[in-house]
Amino acid sequence: MPMGASRMSDQVSQHTLEDVPLRTPELTLTSHSATDIQVTWQPLPAKISRGRVLAYRLSYRTAVDDAVVNVELPQNCTQYLLEGLQPDTIYLLRIAAATRVGWCEPSAWTSHRTSKMTSDKGKPDKTWNQWRAVHLVPRPLVGPTQLLLLNITTF
């Protein structure tokens, strides 16, 4: 051993305990028809998720209704298509993420208006839809073998 050099210390590694995510993913909302909303988000980075995200909870309601619909989605899901909605209606949406420890606080409500129906066989009003940009990201959709849990909460 060279003079003045000391023995190497033992290697120490440390990790923090898993916790609920610090925040929720940002939602991107688009419509492809007057009766649907495509909801997409990016997975949370490890520093924000504070553990492995096990599920997402997407909540939505109309702006004039207090009944909230909750859809629980698996961890690998980064998009969801809400179908069968009312045309020309403002919907409020929010999301929460869960780790083994529990659910984080849901995001603030985000609003989105579905387009008006036209007489052209239920297609959206093209003039209203012109300003919308569609951003398509290839992500796995919820498959037929995965279970979706739905519940409705009223206030």
- The predicted pLDDT at position 120 comes to 54
pLDDT digits (tens, 9 = 90+) for 8-63: 788 877 667 888 998 999 999 999 999 999 999 999 998 899 999 999 999 999 99
**The two three-digit tokens of residue 34, written as one number:** 């007057």
Decide: residue 36, CB within 10 A, 0-12 exposed, 13-18 middle, 19+ buried.
middle
Q: Which residues contact 122 (CB under 8 A, 6 or more apart)?
A: 33, 34, 35
pLDDT at 128 over 50: no
Q: Is the pTM of this model over 0.85?
A: no
Q: Which residue has the tokens 């849990």?
A: 149
pLDDT digits (tens, 9 = 90+) for 72-115: 999 999 999 999 999 999 999 999 999 999 999 999 999 999 99
- Residue 38: how many CB atoms within 10 A of its CB? 19
- The predicted pLDDT at position 10 comes to 83
Distance CA(25)–CA(49), nearest Å, equals 10
Q: Taking residues 65-70, what's their average pLDDT?
A: 94
